[in-house]
Structure 1
Amino acid sequence: MLDPGGTFACVPPPLEVTWTYGPSEVLDKLADMNRTIILLAGLLAAVPVLFYLLARSESARDHTPSGLGTGNSPITIYCAASNQAVMEAIVADYRRQRGGNVFVNYGPSQGLLSQIEVSRTGDLFLPADDSYLHMAQRRGLISEMFPIGTMRAVVIVQRGNPKAIHSFDDLLRDDVRWVQANPEAAAIGRITELTWQRLGLSKAAEAATAAYRGNVTEAAADVVIGSADAAIVYDCMEHNYPGLDIVELPELKTAVSQFGVGLLSTSRHPAAAKQFVDYVTSPEHGLVRYREYGFHELPNDRPLTNP
């Protein structure tokens, strides 16, 4: 080709571009590259944070007792209904004095054991009789047990004992309506049933019982509202119901529950749980409350009984 000056000019042929990817594929590749860059930048930014968290973890491990959790970790205790009033007082003391956070689930002993077995959660188990602790231990749910005290089975009646109930035979009278806790759910019901069996009174007791309640507090509530004349309860319940009277039946003389608290093997905060156990079983703290609420102390160094 001639340029305006009459000389030939060399013009390169048109450049042919061959696309390996289509336009949409190119955009996808660029987006992938952008995501990769962003991810790398995020990882680089996270490195200092990871080192900081690792350093904190090592520091916490150096100052934490053996086991998981610390003394300030929140814990959950499964507690028998018979111990509700005293446990509420102890937990309030503990929170005020130690700052610990304790959540309590109240109920009948067998019901609580079933909850623990199914959920595998929580930290402590305090049933109304140590036989439930041994059941839990045999099932691999308890790692340690700590004794607390004893309770006796008695009859609770209206103030002044208007039905003149003094023996088992009085419970069999037609003019007496009495209730007891379900032996399939509550420790007091189980202890009472075993006592009736030893004395050969099971059939008579079953026939005369007006109703079975879910736990000991429900049985006592029937007397409070007047739907029953008497109920089989633990003697410590007298503290909870000052308007009622306690009658000790000769037939229930041996119906005694020894109880304690067990550390659950599934506890996520065993250090905090053990700290609370130490408080509950301390003669200067928890045991003071137990005496105040009508429970009986164990002889010194007496272990929990075997089933």
Structure 2
Amino acid sequence: MKKGVIAGLIGVVVIFCVGENSFADMQSITVFCGSANKPPMEEIAAKFKQDKNVEVNMIFGGSGTLLSQIELSKKGEIYLPGSPDYIIIAERKKQIIENSDQIVAYLVPAIITPAGNPANVKGLEDLARPGVRVGIGNPETVCLGLYGIEILETNNFLEPVLKNVVTFGGSCSKTANLAALNKVDAILGWRVFHYWNTERMDFVAINPKQIPRISYIPISIPKYTKNINLSKAFIEYTLSPIGQAIYKKYGYLSKLEDAKAFAPQASVGGEYTLPDKYFEIIKDLWKNK
């Protein structure tokens, strides 16, 4: 009889402890994070979990793909695309809380090459040189791709460079890896990619007059958040000296004036729409393959 009572008490204690831990484990957030943020955000998420005892479920990908996932899954505490283009789209689709977005850091376009720049790429004109293998983020789903196409169109390099594109990256990190793994001679990327892996990637500055627009990383709250206080806490942590120091460590620019130093005449933020000419060129290229 005593054994039965003791066993019962142990069972109650176990159930209570498991229940208590389960309740603690319920504190979690899901962050839909554009891959342009991957290195710093992985570190920030780990520190946030350690400091706040909150599980952070990171989902990385192209900004457009992530927005579609939010829309379909109807979940998420944070949406962190790689450019304001997708915040504008998210607001248009009513997928984020209005005016919840804040600026985390600034991004400057650059040409990224494998270490040593084996193809001797010195500027945009070299991306159109016969035989040069070029990589670009998929402009239909990746913010980086939009900026790349905008730069090429603005400087009348759209058709000749697209002829040299051997692959479109599915996210910023996948596009950066094309250069890091020597799969291409150059990509149109963000200057910060070089600092992700300085041993494997170099960057070539684009002529400031050829950069029509610089980007910034916005952080926002999806309308589906199950805990808006945790959403706000994560944003506050990201924008705190702790979060900003991590972004700075990976070469991101926290001040607008620092970003504008690389392209003084460039506009900041806004939205770019792919031109019909892009689709016409792509269609013709596919026909001729």
After TM superposition, the score normalised by the length of structure 2 is 0.75
Q: CA deviation at 1:299?
A: 4.2
Q: CA deviation at 1:223?
A: 2.3
Q: CA deviation at 1:240?
A: 1.7
Asked if 1 retains the 8 angstrom alpha-carbon contact of 2:113 and 2:203, the reply is yes
Aligned match of 2:76? 122
Asked if 1 retains the 8 angstrom alpha-carbon contact of 2:155 and 2:210, the reply is no
Unaligned runs of 5+ in 2: 1-23, 258-267, 272-289
Q: CA deviation at 1:152?
A: 1.2
Aligned pair partner of 1:212 in 140, 149, 168: 168
Partner of 2:101, secondary structure, is strand
2:234 counterpart letter in structure 1 = F
Aligned pair partner of 1:89 in 43, 59, 64: 43
Partner of 1:140, secondary structure, is coil
Aligned match of 1:194? 150
Percent of pairs identical after alignment?
Answer: 23
Asked if 2 retains the 8 angstrom alpha-carbon contact of 1:192 and 1:255, the reply is no
Asked if 2 retains the 8 angstrom alpha-carbon contact of 1:77 and 1:105, the reply is yes
User: Following the alignment from structure 1 to structure 2, what is the Cα–Cα distance between the partners of residues 171 and 81?
Assistant: 24
User: Following the alignment from structure 1 to structure 2, what is the Cα–Cα distance between the partners of residues 305 and 231?
Assistant: 21
Aligned pair partner of 2:28 in 71, 74, 90: 74
Aligned pair partner of 2:193 in 222, 226, 237: 237
CA shift in 2, pair 1:177/1:305, >3 Å: closer
Which whole-Å deviations, capped at 9, do the CAs of 1:201-250 have from their partners, x for residues lacking one? 22122122122121222222222322211112211111222222111122
Aligned match of 1:247? 204
Aligned match of 2:214? 256
2:181 counterpart letter in structure 1 = I
User: Following the alignment from structure 1 to structure 2, what is the Cα–Cα distance between the partners of residues 215 and 280?
Assistant: 22
Partner of 1:149, secondary structure, is strand
Q: CA deviation at 1:305?
A: 4.6
Unaligned runs of 5+ in 1: 1-69
Q: How many residues were matched structurally?
A: 233
Larger Cα-atom Rg: 1
Q: CA deviation at 1:200?
A: 2.4
Aligned match of 1:291? 248
